[in-house]
Chains A and B, each alone.
Chain A
Amino acid sequence: MQLAFAQQLLGLIENSIGILPLLLLLPLVGALLAYLLGDAGARPVTILITLIELGLGLILAMAFDPNNLPASTEGMVYTGSFELTTINLGSATTTFEIAWGVDGISVAMVVLANLVVFIAALSSNHIHESKRLYYALFLLLQTGLLGVFVSTDLLSFFIFWELVLIPMFFIIGKWGEEGCQHAAVKFFIYTHLGSAAMLIAFFVLFFVSGTYSFSMIVLRGTTLAPMVQIGFALAVFLGAGVKLPVFPLHNWLPWAHVKAPTPGSVILAGILLKMGGYGFIRLGLWLVPEAFARLAIPFALLAVFTCIYMAFVAMAQTDLKSMVAYTSVNHMAWVLLAVAVGSVGYVNPALGFSAELAIQGAIFMMFSHGMISSVMFIAAGQLKYSAGTRQIPEVKGLMEKAPKFSAILILSSLAAFGFPGMSGFIAEVLVLFGSVTAYIWAGLIGLGLFVTVGYLLWMLNRVVFSDPDPEAEVAEAPWVDLIAPIIMMIPVLLLGIWPDLILSLIHPAVVFLLGG
């Protein structure tokens, strides 16, 4: 969807600093500004900056021509780079640089990141301690998140990937609830460990490819030995699989998500997990599709298992936030399944169409889950303020005592299990249709969906539609707390009835990706 005014505006920006550097630098400047303005000015500045960022992201999405996929840059547009240093290795000169560029997939992720960060900034109204530090870290986090999605260079990808950890560590550990410090350390160490394996794979690729280059664009154009590709794919699985997370690597997630403050959880579930999914697509499917195709069956099996297992684990939770956290793992498994199926479509053209469906589904799933889980986490945080506890068995009769809040909780739960008419439904349908044509047993993931529907409705039944407990105090959520989730529900509903908004953006990029 290209609009003339957006293109003119973008052209204006592109002629001066460039849209992507502006997106990356603005939060950095904002972070400094927020810290210098002190506790009183930090929040308005942050909301302003994140709003401008969201606007810029939307302008980018509106002006972006999805069908313009230059082969010379492997489909990346608005490319550019900032050189950090160069070294001479033998006869080759290697440049270490921050390089950026976007295709349709990246643009969708940038919009999602800016949207979630803006909502998280709005929902930070319960943060009162050391506000200036909080908001400065918050904006630093935004730079890191956007950087991951726009990097076209393995090294700059890694720098941003790691940069995200630092502010997130402080946000979880300093502003979280009881036990958050342990959660923060666990989060940092888990993700760092995955990153270490991934970094070594980057270096191996750097030397083995013979290109002496970290540029993804160059590396994608190089043919690699199958063993190197498979090693790289396994390392990406470790690095991105921790973030996503997949079954054996998921242990940090319930801790970090539950102990983090509400905006922290929103960003964790809304974008950090998508970094994992994006890593699978960009570094796996986009860079080494053949290797992923060979590993497709184990990955798909793992995805199906993760989804069903996590659905049952979520069912066993009594803490609403914890339940939402496991629901996130459960949903991200769909992304892994879609990536596995998509890679099969790359080597087997007969499955090309189902691969297209699945990958579009993966990206749509990331987008829609980013929005829905944000609402769910805000609702879970709100339950603590309204009812004094998040324990599902202890809260009763929310519908009678707090109807507005209940409406949000009901809508977001319906969206989470994929109620038709909401964005989650489109995502699940796309992935399911794509996967079943490739592997008929992949349909088993529907069992996970079945359980998800069950426990979410059961939760609603216990919390919302039960008879109120006359002794328990339950207060209605004030409007100021409800603004953020209400704003976030708009795109959820909009995309449920008009999925082409995203699909038209990503479809050409997906076709390009599969076309080689």
Chain B
Amino acid sequence: MQLEILTDFIRTLLAPLRDLILLVPGIEDWAASVPALTLVVFSFIVLLWGDRRGVLGISIIGVFTAAFNMVLFESGTYGSSFGGLFIRDAFADFFIWIILIVGVLILMSATLYGGERSSYNFLLLMSFAGAIWVVMATDLVALFLAWELMSTPTYVLVALGPHRGSVDGATKYFVMGLLSTMLMIFGIALVIGVTGTTLLSGANSIAMAIEAIWTSGTAGPAAYSLLLAMIMFVIAFGFKVGIFPGWMWVPDAYSTADGSVTGYLAGATKKTGISALMRILMVAFFVARMEWMFIIVIVSILTMIIGNVLALAERNIMRMLAYSSIVMMGFVFVGIAAGTQFGAAAGMFHAFTHALMKTGAFILIWAMSVRLAKEITYDDLAGLGKRAPMAAAMFAVLIFALAGGPLTVGFWSKWIFLPQSAVEANLWWFALVALFNSVFSLGYYLRVLRYMYMMEPTTNTKIELARIPMIAVGLCVIAIIGLFVFPGIVLDYAFEGAASLIP
């Protein structure tokens, strides 16, 4: 735990503040939800502040306050809230940090578009709070509530995009979202019908019920109903993640929404879907892992192949990146399919690194798109190395990270830990398929580099990109290179989180 010195320091420094907050009567009962509640409070402050100067600043302060509350109320002592429906363990903390980091980055990028409106900020902060609760939920109904709190604002946010097509993209996203919600409810209903509970783990929970059914050794209707429910969950949460059956909305919504929202969708909400699925599969359905492993392998392979083929055919960079994030989610499922502690940790680590790479890439392309007032295609990237050397260099690093090249953290997460975890679970052929897909993806990643560095620009005018979003991208790039040399900084936390899922 290499960051412990830092967190301990902050904790000691701000201990009086924590004691002050703890004076509020009854706060112990929802102490774990303080970060999310902070965001809710700030979202209302932002709404009341109105469309005046500094509204974005308040949002950023809100996210930072939530982060400080994360440190102040450490998960060990203040791990439970709302009667244990929402808990903070090492696993939840890992994903909450992803959400908060992505939150700061995309609020920085919101200076380009939308950030001056209070409604925009309100929706974003509310969605952050929902996302935090999603990863904390230990009960299917609580999960459903948090899921809707997270999703609903994003439907509106996508529709608020600057393009004429954004309403179309939002409609597609919304309809597919409703479909997935419906499937989720159906799955929950089946689970309640069989087990009579909605708790994922602990005494009298779904995990216990499934274990009882699986150890009884008879494949009766109860087992099949549960498997059907499990498939429903994979489809429903997989929709948000953008994996095989529910990936069609991804490119449309991603390319029409404004880039900050796209960064949020790709960087954070995808990860909440993964965390929800990991909790369901690796906690509740852990005994049935021989059954779901096969399904996840198929889903992962199809996701990677579909994403790669479609990305190769794409000329719009936003859409290409959207397809590439579909492929990347297929990679995360390599770790989940392994069904081991190492696999879970590798998947979580890749979720973290993917959040950095994709958010950075989306912000960068969005900044270019705003500057040139058009959708960015490969032709606009031609000669970027000369027109905007800094931006081109940063984009090249991000692309190499996505491709899993050495000197970037993508190498560790995509090329080392994920395939290694699959090999550990005796799925070496699956790891090979995944890596071949990674090689296949070079077809479009290298094209970006080819256009940026090997083509002559059509005009020689320099492109000056907005400073604050570029700082956000720069932070991502520094983190990506730094984590190559010291991957342990994040990996240790991923292992701790995985250990709290699979002991």
Q: Which residues of A contact B (CB under 8 A)?
A: 84-89, 96, 130, 155, 159-160, 162-163, 165-166, 169-170, 173-174, 180-181, 184-185, 188-189, 192-193, 196-197, 199-200, 203-204, 206-207
Contacts and interface: CB of A to CB of B under 8 A. Distances in A.
A192 B342 CA distance: 25
A85 B453 contact: no
A203 B428 contact: yes
Given A155-B416, A200-B435, A204-B428, A170 B453 contact: yes
Contacts of A185: 442-443, 446-447, 450
A195 to B, nearest CB: 8
A200 B431 contact: yes
A133 B431 CA distance: 35
A184 B450 CA distance: 9
Given A166-B407, A174-B453, A196-B439, A85 B428 contact: no
B407 A196 contact: no
Contacts of B405: 162, 165-166
B342 A89 contact: yes
Using C-beta atoms within 8 Å of the partner chain, give the interface range for chain B: 35 or more
Nearest to B453: A174
Given A203-B423, A204-B428, A196 B411 contact: no
Contacts of B419: 199-200, 203
Interface string B399-439: 01000011100011001100110011000100110011011
Contacts of B424: 89, 203, 207
Contacts of B415: 162, 199
B406 A163 contact: yes
14 contacts: A86-B488, A88-B495, A159-B411, A166-B405, A173-B450, A181-B454, A184-B454, A193-B436, A200-B428, A200-B432, A203-B419, A203-B424, A204-B428, A207-B423
> What is the predominant secondary structure among interface residues of chain A facing chain B?
helix
Contact of A173 (B412, B431, B443, B454): B454
A203 B420 contact: yes
B234 interface: no
Contacts of A162: 405-406, 411, 415
A192 B411 CA distance: 13
Given A155-B416, A170-B453, A200-B435, A87 B423 contact: no
A155 B446 CA distance: 24
Nearest to B386: A130
- Ordered nearest first, which 3 A-B pairs have the shortest CB separation? A85-B488, A196-B435, A203-B423
Given A159-B411, A188-B442, A181 B450 contact: yes
B491 to A, nearest CB: 6
B294 interface: no
Given A84-B487, A188-B446, 9 more contacts: A85-B487, A166-B400, A169-B446, A170-B449, A181-B450, A184-B454, A196-B438, A200-B428, A203-B431
A88 B494 CA distance: 12
B485 interface: yes
Nearest to A155: B416
Contacts of B416: 96, 155
A180 B453 CA distance: 13
B82 interface: no
